[in-house]
C-alpha cells in the first residue's frame, strides 16, 4: 500500500485480476502478454498513470522491468501498479532521493549505503543499534525478493510508507502532502 498524506493507493486482488484482463484486452495490441514501448504510453494512461516525457518513460521501462527483458509484461504492470502510480506522482522527489541513497550508482540501495545514511551526523542521525533495527525492519517489510538490497520499485514502496524514517515534521496549514527531507550527500 502506498500512502501520501490522505491519498492511499492500493488494489485488491480482484481489482488486479480485472486490471490484467483490461490491459490484455485493450493495451496489448498483439496479444503477446508484453507491453511494448510503442504500447506503453497508451497502456499507462489507460490505467491512470501519467508519464510526461520520454526520459521519464525510459526510467519506467528500465526500473520497473523486474525480469530485465527490456519490456514490461502485463503482470509486471499489474503487480507494480501501486509503485507506478506513486512514481508518476512523485518521480522527481523519488529519483533524487534514490540517487542520493544509491552511493555507488549501481541501481540499488545496498544495506551498507543505507546504514551510512542513517548513522551520518546530522538531524536524522541514528545510533548503530537503531540503524540496524531500522534496516532489519525495512528488509522484512520491503525487500520482497530477499536479495539484501532495495531495487527502485522496493524503494518506492518504502518511500511511500507512512513510517518512512526521513519524512519531515508536519507543517501547519499545508495543503499538499509533505515533501521528504532532502538527503545530504
0.85 cut: is pTM over it?
no
**Which residues, 6 or more positions from 156, have their beta carbon under 8 angstroms from its beta carbon?**
2, 83, 86, 87, 94
**Percent of the chain's residues with pLDDT above 70:** 81
Distance (Å, whole) CA 50 – CA 47: 9
| DSSP annotation of 183 | P
Question: Distance between CA atoms of 15 and 85, rounded to whole angstroms?
Answer: 15
Q: At 118, is the pLDDT very low, low, confident or very high (cuts 50, 70, 90)?
A: confident
**Residue pLDDT, tens place only, 15-26:** 889 988 888 888
Q: Which CATH number fits domain 9-79: 1.10.3080.10, 3.40.50.880, 3.40.50.2300, 1.10.238.10?
A: 1.10.238.10
Strands 34-35 and 72-73: antiparallel
- pLDDT above 90 for 48: no
The topology under which CATH files domain 92-185 is Recoverin; domain 1 (1.10.238)
Amino acid at each position: 500500500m502506498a500512502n501520501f498524506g490522505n491519498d492511499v493507493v492500493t488494489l485488491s486482488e480482484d481489482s488486479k485480476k480485472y486490471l490484467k484482463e483490461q490491459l490484455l484486452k485493450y493495451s496489448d495490441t498483439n496479444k503477446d502478454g508484453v507491453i511494448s514501448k510503442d504500447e506503453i504510453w497508451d497502456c499507462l494512461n489507460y490505467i491512470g498513470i501519467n508519464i510526461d516525457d520520454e526520459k521519464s518513460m525510459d526510467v519506467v521501462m528500465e526500473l520497473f522491468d523486474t525480469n530485465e527483458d527490456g519490456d514490461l509484461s502485463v503482470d509486471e504492470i499489474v503487480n507494480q501498479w501501486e509503485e507506478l502510480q506513486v512514481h508518476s506522482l512523485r518521480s522527481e522527489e523519488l529519483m533524487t532521493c534514490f540517487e542520493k541513497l544509491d552511493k555507488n550508482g549501481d541501481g540499488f540501495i545496498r544495506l551498507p549505503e543505507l546504514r551510512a545514511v542513517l548513522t551520518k551526523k546530522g538531524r536524522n542521525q541514528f545510533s548503530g543499534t537503531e540503524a540496524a533495527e531500522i534496516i532489519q525492519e525495512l528488509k522484512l517489510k520491503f525487500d520482497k525478493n530477499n536479495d539484501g538490497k532495495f531495487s527502485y520499485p522496493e524503494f518506492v514502496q518504502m518511500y511511500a510508507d507512512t513510517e518512512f524514517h526521513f519524512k519531515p515534521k508536519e507543517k501547519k496549514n499545508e495543503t499538499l502532502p509533505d515533501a521528504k527531507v532532502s538527503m545530504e550527500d
